[in-house]
Structure 1
């Protein structure tokens, strides 16, 4: 019965997401596009934080590199959008492999600070390498051509781009879910709870952490590849350490112990930010207070608290 109810709720949510361009204004089409992209970004972060127990302060490096890779390919090569996304994933995976190889050797705060240092190094390179990245102005002026696979899609249309993002994020989420539910995902959970015991069992903890780090970076790069055409620019702000704080907040807000938690957190964060900015210029203060209260009183995140409440009602 519980499974049937959850499947019914999921079906309604999916149907609602598909229908957004037909029942909502263009403004909310943009808002929900951002929610989906940032939700994937947060879900990729949650693979290393919620499942593996590694707190990274430099996750935006992979997000930003994915955005720059897509922008550069569109500007100089004009390849189909699908190929651009594959390039962005490859570039982010390579960067994650290099940073992860040096970072996963350390634990807890040392790991967090090292990822922050590497993230700021990537930001500094993008900010200063003006001949390639155009410095603080970022890369703009690129246009979306064909999608690829022989599909005739007008990607410049916000509604079409929204459905493309929805489809790609859905596929990516399914892949991430299968990874989390696999034996590999179970080992990651074990590493989060007790890495010493996993090591005593004969498994190489560093290798598993590195693989998880690379997978997370790859999907963060995919999210970055989607955000560049959405914003029409790839700028150094996408690489900044403050951008790395967003997936952390979204994952905690939604619930790190649940796969869909980061997506719920992304929706709550973006919608709150959107609504509050329409009423006050001090939106950061108001948003900060609201988010702090939500984190304090919803200890398991919005999704976890809702599930606990539902279980109590069922009793």
Structure 2
């Protein structure tokens, strides 16, 4: 096999991933069951949120426990603007990523001064601060009651219409994320993940790139929050709680932080498990914990990462066998 075979296989693998993901979500409505449409819509939104987080963790190597702050900021931006009649949905939704990015730009310069576990704890502290403000500001955010009955355009009242809208927005956002990861900017982020000191020795201003990654991640997280507000038509302070950040961390790890679509798959796995098991037993937390433990043990690189390793090893053995048979 020639030296150009590996890039060719990688390109075909990427194309297969895109086709598989698009076909799966495009064909979901054919089941004609509202449950599948609702579940797929939530997977798309949380998948985008998890992929936005993975730009920080999987690509840049920054473990943030404050991602929910940007997600909630996007949701509350849409919810407040629509319920107070300030702007229509067509303007409110595009503002969600702007607010998410602005919040990341505000908190980022303080967080990137630290690294490792200290960075993680600082992002958690700021996220809890934002959550506390939203939770107690009854006159503006509704406090612990949140915002109910968010008005959306009449066309979106049909679940299928909003689903296809969400699919279109998420596909466009994921395509932009993919372009960012594969760009020279993305290559610098990956070098920061591997060795920030050596990257700095090359004359690259590491903190600037880390801040840029936080802002981009905050923007896409805010977009996911805005989509969720229109999908659920109600929001609450739990959107900004640290447990929501922990949820997307778990999604990314289970799906595979080394795979671009891993967090999306992880979102699907966790949401499906939670919904299915919660219907049949009141001890669903124990079952979910056991299943996730099994996934971590048997899929150490995440679902997608481990499957890729298996297929790669199988392909290597086949190539080695062919080489021996035909020297």
Asked if these proteins are the same fold (TM beyond 0.5), I'd say: yes
Structure with the greater alpha carbon radius of gyration = 2
Give 1:226 shift: 0.5
4+ residue stretches of structure 1 with deviation over 6 A?
Answer: none
Residue in 2 that maps onto 1:96: 104
Q: Which runs of 5+ in 1 are unaligned?
A: 147-153
Residue in 2 that maps onto 1:239: 240
- Distance in 2 separating the partners of 1:36 and 1:138: 23
- Distance in 1 separating the partners of 2:113 and 2:13: 43
2:50 aligned with 1:42:
yes
- Distance in 2 separating the partners of 1:301 and 1:56: 19
Residue in 2 that maps onto 1:205: 206
Q: 1:6 to 1:101 in 2, by over 3 A?
A: closer
Residue in 2 that maps onto 1:156: 157
Residue in 1 that maps onto 2:280: 279
Give 1:8 shift: 4.3
- Give the conservation status (yes or no) of the 8 Å contact 1:250–1:269: yes
Residue in 2 that maps onto 1:57: 65
- Distance in 2 separating the partners of 1:68 and 1:84: 10
Residue in 2 that maps onto 1:149: none
Moved more, 225-234 or 15-24: 15-24
- Distance in 2 separating the partners of 1:28 and 1:114: 38
- Give the conservation status (yes or no) of the 8 Å contact 1:78–1:145: no
- Distance in 2 separating the partners of 1:178 and 1:221: 19
Residue among 94, 99, 113 paired with 1:86:
94
Give 1:91 shift: 1.0
Give 1:76 shift: 1.8
Residue in 2 that maps onto 1:7: 15
Residue in 2 that maps onto 1:313: 314
TM-score by length of 2: 0.91
Q: 1:273 to 1:259 in 2, by over 3 A?
A: same
Count matched residues. 308
Residue in 1 that maps onto 2:139: 131
- Distance in 1 separating the partners of 2:163 and 2:86: 21
Give 1:251 shift: 0.5
* Per-residue deviation, residues 76-133 of structure 1 (Å, max 9, x unmatched): 2353323211111111111111111100110001100000000000000000111100
Residue in 1 that maps onto 2:271: 270
Q: Considering only aligned residues, what root-mean-square deviation do their CA atoms show, in Å?
A: 1.4
Richer in helix (by share): 2
* Per-residue deviation, residues 228-275 of structure 1 (Å, max 9, x unmatched): 121221100000011110110000001001111100111111111111
Give 1:19 shift: 2.3
TM-score by length of 1: 0.94
Q: 1:4 to 1:51 in 2, by over 3 A?
A: closer
Residue in 2 that maps onto 1:150: none
